[in-house]
Amino acid sequence: MNFEELYQELILDHSKRPRNFGPLPDATVTVKGDNPSCGDEVELSAKLTPDTVETLKFTGHGCAICMASASLMTIKIKGKSRQEAAAMAKAFRHMLVTPEETAVPESFGDLEVFSAVRRFPQRVKCATLAWRALEQALSTVPAAPVSTEEND
Amino acid sequence: MPSTNSWLSIRQDFPILDQQVNGHPLIYLDNAATAQKPRAVLDCLDHYYERDNSNVHRGLHELSNRATTAYEGARERLAAYIGAEAGEIIFTRGTTESINLVARTWGDAHVGEGDIILLTEMEHHSNLVPWQLLAKRKGASLRFVPVTPDGLLDLSNIDELLAGPVKIFSFVHISNSLGTINPAAELCARARLAGVTTLVDAAQSSGHLPLDVRELGCDFLAFSGHKMCGPTGIGILWGRKDILAAMEPFHGGGEMIASVGFTESEFKPAPYRFEAGTPAIAQAIGLGAAAEYIDGIGRAAIFDHDQALARQAVDLLEEIPGLRILGPRHDRGGLVAFVLKDAHAHDIVSMADQYGLALRGGHHCTQPLLRKLGVPASARASFYFYNTPEEVEQMAAIVRKIQTFFA
């Protein structure tokens, strides 16, 4: 194994210059995810409508795999329906625990670069941190917006 | 002090070091996490299980006799190892259990509402969480000796920190994430003047430098066997005889009782009072063999060797662009933790592994300390007497390659 396989150009690029990095002032939900075993932290903010993930951004710090995964995730998920987003997150997490020879679905696009993580089981958590935050965001906010204020 | 040649022949005692990892000769620099085991310890475990395996203290047959003699012999060996008496040596599962034992038994009896537990900001989670739990149980609070940006304890107002309702001062001897060697004897002396009980966490020092509990002047000393060439699952709590004699039991069960009735029992004296159930017999005997092996080399020589490797590592790593070393520059134990501006600790460790280099990456179970230093995670190289200057050179060369790759 050559580590260039794990740290492909795309991953290095997105870890050094993460896209959609920064605060999202009009977020409807913010989820903080952390990996207590290494100290990585990703805070994901998303603007959700009842049906779609209109936009999403993140802040935080972590290893190259973690940052690149968060960055590529925001690009992939932006504008997707909530249902599609949830399905993609599930499929991505599933892909990381499949055997190395299992083909990666075409729908993954650029996310295919993370297939090499399968050879490094201890790094799977790095690649899934942002995706877990996304799943949390999708599940904590009901499809219809809620308010903390009483509406009488 | 062993010569270069004899250090190399000592290395031959460790069969695990002779292997390729990812196509490269293994360079094992994760000794602060756990040390490798010499043939003497492996043979001792084999011999025990092949010839003597039996339960201790309760059998009347020959094997039980042998097992008991070896187990108690290990206790005596460990007592001699730290200048103590055998009756003061309690076998535990390791440093963590040793500290929990003190927090649960001594702590529950002596720490009350409004009292203070003094720690330092550089403690391992194992010397932090048991005290947090005790403080919560009792309504006590925690106080901390601060760490300077150089990674030293700020002792400028240590007497004030020890003043007031401080009941115990528990601190690390050698920091596992900074390499700092704390002035343990001086700290214990200050605490004694203030009437404060002391516990020294010797997890990173027990296998690396000469330790004598009377010279240290502490009340408790805790360490693990596996960081000093012994098996996992075994460690030591040493306590001063008069303190142990007054302490309530930790776990209840067989082996620790003098007599048992249906509603009440009487307990054996220390150390047996604190060793409920069948102990880790083979591991204790293996730890005795490890102590004997280490003293065959000499801990003063080991300390010099480790320090020389750490100095060499600091000098080589400092040359790498964007690399920051944590902790004191040269006066340190045999470990060096660092961060790279361009690469996260996990990426460093994953890549190093591709060269057969075993490093540790993360917060090293000292999350609050790293947070204070403004570092989310660091990479760490930690040395032992079987490591060589060539390995340190290779390590630095690999880290340089990694830096270039991510820059």
Kindly give the pairing relationship between strand B141-145 and strand B116-120.
parallel
Cα gap B27→B394, rounded to integer Å: 9
* CATH number of B43-296, picked from 3.40.350.10, 1.10.1740.10, 3.40.50.300, 3.40.640.10: 3.40.640.10
| Subunit contact B354:A61, Cβ cutoff 8 A | no
Could you tell me the CA-to-CA distances from B91 to A148, B56, B276, B288 in Å, in that order? 55, 13, 10, 11
Crossing angle for the helix pair B281-297 and B39-47, to the nearest 10 degrees: 150
Mutate to test the interface with A, among B20, B350, B363, B402 (most CBs of A within 10 A): B350
In this prediction, residue B362 carries a pLDDT of 84
The reply to whether residue A39 touches residue B370, judged by beta carbons under 8 angstroms, is yes
CB contact under 8 A, A123 and B350: yes
- Residues B252 and B267: their CA atoms lie apart, in Å, by 9
Q: Tokens 């942002």, residue?
A: A130
Interface mutation target, options B22, B344, B380, B398, chain A, most CBs of A under 10 Å: B344
CATH architecture of B4-30+298-406: Alpha-Beta Complex (3.90)
Residue where the block lists tokens 């649960």: B104
Show pLDDT as tens, one digit a residue, over chain B (407 residues).
678 779 999 999 999 999 999 999 999 999 999 999 999 999 999 999 999 999 998 778 999 999 999 999 999 999 999 999 999 999 999 999 999 999 999 999 999 999 999 999 999 999 999 999 999 999 999 999 999 999 999 999 999 999 999 999 999 999 999 999 999 999 999 999 999 999 999 999 999 999 999 999 999 999 999 999 999 999 999 999 999 999 999 999 888 888 888 888 899 999 999 999 999 999 999 999 999 999 999 999 999 999 999 999 999 999 999 999 999 987 899 999 999 998 999 999 999 999 999 999 988 788 888 888 888 889 999 999 999 999 999 999 999 999 999 98
In chain B, which residues have their Cβ closer than 8 Å to the Cβ of A6?
Answer: 350
* Residues of chain A found within 8 Å of residue B22, distances taken between Cβ atoms: 1
Interface check for B362 against chain A (CB to CB < 8 A): the answer is yes
Which position has the higher pLDDT, A149 or B128? Answer: B128
Residue among B354, B362, B406 minimizing CB distance to A37: B362
Burial of B18 (0-12, 13-18, 19+ CB in 10 A): exposed
Structure tokens at B300: 């003063």
CB B403, CB B320: distance < 8 Å: yes
Residue to substitute from A13, A17, A63, interface B, most B β-carbons within 10 A: A63
Residue B34 near residue B232 (C-beta atoms within 8 A): yes
Contact A63 B406 (CB under 8 A): no
Record: fold of A3-140: Sufe protein. Chain: A (3.90.1010)
List the domain boundaries for chain A. Answer: 3-140
Chain A partners of B341 at a C-beta cutoff of 8 Å?
none
* Helix or strand run (H / E) with residue B25: strand B24-25
Alpha-carbon gap: A48 to the closest alpha carbon of chain B (Å): 30
Question: What are the sequence ranges of the domains in chain B?
Answer: 4-30+298-406, 43-296
Question: B350 touching A, CB under 8 A?
Answer: yes
Chain centroid offset of residue B45 CA: 21
Nearest CA in chain B to A41: B376
pTM, rounded to two decimals:
0.92
pLDDT confidence of residue A151: 44
Q: Give the per-residue pLDDT at B230.
A: 98
The residue type at B18: D
C-alpha–C-alpha distance, residues B308 and B301, integer Å: 11
Q: Which residue of A has its CA nearest to B364?
A: A38
- Closest partner residue to A3 among B344, B346, B354, by Cβ? B354
**Active-site residue list of B:** 365
Give strand pairing partners of B166.
Answer: B116
Give the pair of three-digit tokens for residue B93.
Answer: 């599962």
Cα–Cα distance, B310 to B382 (Å, whole number): 8
